[in-house]
Amino acid sequence: MGADAIQTNGHDQAKLTGGEEIQRLRCFVKNYEWGKLGPESLVARLQEANTGQRVDSEIPYAEFWMGTHESGPSHVEFGSGHGVSDKCMVTLKSWVLDNPNLLGSKVVDKWGCDLPFLFKVLSVTKALSIQAHPNKALAEKLHREDPLLYRDNNHKPEIALAVTPFQALCGFVTLKELKEVITNVPEITELVGSKAADQIFNVHEHDEDERIKSVVRLIFTQLMSASNNETKQVVSRMKNRLLLETKHRELSEKEKLVLELEKQYTGDIGVISAFFFNYVKLNPGDALYLDANEPHAYISGDCVECMAASDNVVRAGLTPKHGDVQTLCSMLTYKLGYPEILKGFPLTPYVTRYLPPFDEFEVDHCDLPRGKSTVFPAVPGPSVYLVIEGKGQLRTGSSKVLVNRGDVLFVPADIEIHVTGESDVMKLYRAGVSSRFFQTL
């Protein structure tokens, strides 16, 4: 991008430069209190490399956002100089709005002049809230009724791809496990009452799905609706009981987790409700996908996350933020059983694809050794590339871009990308519109 392209007006700049093939993005960071501190955070290291901002060792760096969402917009940087006067910044959203051809006609026809996905990196050291994301109909209703809390009207299916060992709570455990929970965690019965708790023993695996779900919904809603004072007392008693039992037996992994959560969120209803959820441990390269209305809480680790372009979250438990217990408990599917873990499938010797059952997005992971090359074929929609580690180059038919850790690049529709590694290993992730979407048109 030459200096002759620089204009004083951002929109003029974007229109003049709309034909460029690859553009670097400057990205937005969220400093939520659950993020890892300072340089321990992958997000912090990416931000420093991406923007040049120095890392503060006392600040949590939680989320690195790549996309057009108004809550954390990325910017396109034009200009090749090193001084502020040599460069011009416009939001990615305004740039694609002025240049819809960058998105491809099929994407514009379906989602308008906007990126349909939001790409993130998360660095988690303290549990996130127990939460779920609404489907499209509920998102529209929540946004209409409380636009300050629910900022947009879109659904938010998502995928979390582990970069480091990653832990999460996700979905309800099986009926058999729930019966064991009610039996072995008497504090739940203290909070919901024996009349509600005992109903779990009146349903069986062969019963109708809706009958089982209605009982789980009843018990979980009663639990989450317990008063704050009673919850604090009961959680404290549970903690003391478990600490006493450590003298006589080895606690289960879930019990150890619950004690850790109690340290983070003392007296919180989310501590005891964790017994209801699957404790999921992902190895690097494993991915967890979450449809609308499925409960989850990330616990620790670093992940790449991709989702439909939304920031809608319904929370209840393990959070100082606003909780909406009634909405959360009424929206959940109450589907029981362990979630599906995606391992991805190979596209080339160096590229693995993760393809959840959603139109808006897919994620590719590329590990490229020094001197090796691979090709990302042209697709009819936009892509965002992120380099997490190492260095290399991206080439198109008419340009070459050198990339290092922290570089984020927007690639328009119908552009083939050749990637070559120039370090021991270059780790790169690509987010794009689901290839299934284009195949079904």
Residues annotated catalytic, as ranges: 315
Q: Count of CB atoms within 10 A of residue 385's CB?
A: 26
Type of residue at 399:
S
CB crowding 330-352: b at 16 or more within 10 Å, else e: ebbbbebeebeebebeebeebbb
Q: CA 375 to CA 79: how far, in whole Å?
A: 27
Q: Which residues pair with 376 in a beta bridge?
A: 417
Q: Is the C-alpha dihedral spanning 386, 391, 395, 400 positive or negative? A: positive
What are the tokens at 147? 């636009």
Q: Which residues pair with 402 in a beta bridge?
A: 393
Pairing of strands 345-346, 63-66: unpaired
Pairing of strands 400-404, 425-432: unpaired
Q: CA 47 to CA 408: how far, in whole Å?
A: 10
- Where does residue 252 fall: left (phi above 0), alpha (psi -120 to 50 degrees), or beta otherwise? beta
